Amino acid sequence: MKKPVKLILVLVLFLPLVTFSQSLPTTMHVVEDAYRRAQMEGKLDSSVSFTIRPLIPSKAFKTDSSHLELSKWIDYTGIKSENNKFGIGLLPLTWNQQYNSTVPYGWNDGAMIPSRGYQTLVTGGFYAKAGPLSIQLKPEFIFAENKEFEGDSRNLNLGAVDLPLRFGEGSYSNQTWGQSSIKLNLGPVSAGISNENLWLGPAKRNSLLMSQNAQGFKHFTIHSNKPIRSYIGSFEFQIIGGKLLNSGFRGFPAIPKDTGWRYLSVVSVNYQPKWVPGLFFGLNRSFQSYGSKLKGFKDYFPFLAPFEKSKDQANSSGSDEKDQIVSFHSRWLFPKSHAEIYFEYGLNDHSYNLRDFIMSPEHSRAYTFGFGKMIPFKSREGQFLQFNAEITQLSQSADRLVRQAYAWYTHFQILQGYTHKGEVLGAGTGPGGNLQSADLRWVKGIKSIGFQFERFVHNNDFYDAAISDLDGQSRRWVDFGFAALGTWDFNHLLLNVKLQGIQSLNYQWQLKNYTPGTYYIPENDLFNFHGEVGITYRF
């Protein structure tokens, strides 16, 4: 047995332990969804926004006890020590598997990659606490068959973004720090170094600025670990400075890019008015620049700069070497009705001044809108029928005809785009992508069974710029997906399954055997089976 494994076992068996909770990884979405449902039921504190994640449930919901059944999936319970300050415990072991029969499909899968064939991710580790210091070690190990598929050598992203269609020409394997962190926890604030996936905004399927679509990246962080209460309401916040890396896989034609790392600075603030329980307002602002261009305080904390370009000399002259994205969001929770409604509105290219924004608020805009409703079964306590719907619109508005804003997540100064290791940090639909999603489920606590329908339009901005309709027939690339979903817990075991069929119309905007002058154009349609199986075991 290797020494590190022996050391962990000895510590678990013999150190005095306490009951404590580490952060709830955004990659454990089935548990996170169950917490959110519990809040909609009115069982959890309604001042927690669910717009800055990962959460630390033991701190965020400390005054509630109804979440204890859920917390067993992220807590380690041991023998209480006299001072309640020291402890160590094993984290749940998770094994995620994914399969695509024909082409890559799927997002919000963390360190997994877009891949055809079988793919697997394994993660586990331990959590330790010593006074205000906490250490969470949760590495991830990934393997993908990464098989060839139709059109895998094409470059279909307008160049200015690091989104390879295929990650190399053979099988893919990787190991990352995963959901690991070292933090100091001082009252309602935590600060430290982390590699955890982050999620900003209220959306469930697509978040404009930060989601679990790409693998986690190394970053410094200072954030609230629970709502900070004041006379006017409660606040949550997070500030990060992170390091983004290139994928190392280039499309065709190859585009010259700075091969160095990129610096990402993000600030997120959320406010819950005291007078309107359940209502939240938030702001997210991110800046990206090449690491080689960092020179001083303003470069490391660019979010302190004015919003208006006219008041920022570098932006006003067009000589800035940073890429900014900003979004505003709101969520309104109705515990008595077991419902919620939310939206996020973002700008990929901020306005020159307030007048410019008022005249053209749709310039470079994107948005996500969604709602959820839980209908209780009168004869079955704790059981609900849950409906969720969400719309994401990333393609440009008609304003592009007057002033081109280019695709979301792309920028002429940062040619890799808003990406890390070849995947978008925000919405998994990617540049120019639009999604309509709806699901209906039976739920009880963490258990759920249901169905999901999605319509996904790929990169409409590329379509509008590079492809025109022929003979009156649309060549847009549209996917229709229908999935069966299920989550069930068996004592120490948690199982989640997704079985989805996707029908792609005009795959990669390609046509087969097209003859100019003919009215009928044979479509390039494909069917793909997408399967996900996740197994989590708690010790």
Q: What is the pLDDT of residues 306-320, one digit of tens each?
A: 666 666 655 544 456
Closest by CA position to 347, among listed 285, 277, 279: 285
Give the pLDDT mean for 2-18. Answer: 43
Helices marked H in 199-321 — which ranges?
297-300, 313-317
What class is the 3-537 domain? mainly beta
pLDDT tier at 75, thresholds 50, 70, 90: low
Is residue 142 within 8 A of residue 168, CB to CB? The reply is: no
Of 332 and 307, the structure prediction assigns the larger pLDDT to 332
Q: Where are the beta strands (DSSP E) in 231-317?
A: 233-244, 262-273, 279-290
**Could you state, in order of their start, the residue ranges of all structural domains in the chain?**
3-537
Is residue 521 within 8 A of residue 471, CB to CB? The reply is: yes
Question: Which 3 state secondary structure label does DSSP give 131?
Answer: coil
| pLDDT for the residue 485 | 96
Q: Which tens digits make up the pLDDT trace of 359-371? A: 777 788 899 999 9
Is residue 482 within 8 A of residue 453, CB to CB? The reply is: yes
Q: Report which residue type is found at 458.
A: H
Q: How far apart are CA 211 and CA 238, in angstroms?
A: 14
Question: Which 3 state secondary structure label does DSSP give 136?
Answer: strand
Give the pLDDT mean for 284-303. Answer: 85
Q: How far apart are CA 112 and CA 214, in angstroms?
A: 8
Share of the chain above pLDDT 90, in %: 53
Pair of tokens at residue 123: 């993660």
Quote the DSSP letter at residue 470. B
Global pTM reads 0.89
CB neighbour list of residue 453: distance below 8 Å, 6 or more residues apart: 437, 438, 439, 480, 481, 482, 483
| pLDDT for the residue 484 | 97
Q: Which tens digits make up the pLDDT trace of 427-452? A: 999 999 999 999 999 999 999 999 99
Is residue 446 within 8 A of residue 34, CB to CB? The reply is: yes
Closest by CA position to 370, among listed 199, 200, 237, 201: 201
Closest by CA position to 344, among listed 203, 198, 199: 203
- The yes-or-no verdict on residue 1 having pLDDT over 50 is no
| Residue appearing with tokens 């069974």 | 449
pLDDT tier at 72, thresholds 50, 70, 90: confident
Furthest CA-CA distance within the chain = 84
Give the pLDDT mean for 393-413. Answer: 81
Neighbours of 414 (CB within 10 A): 23
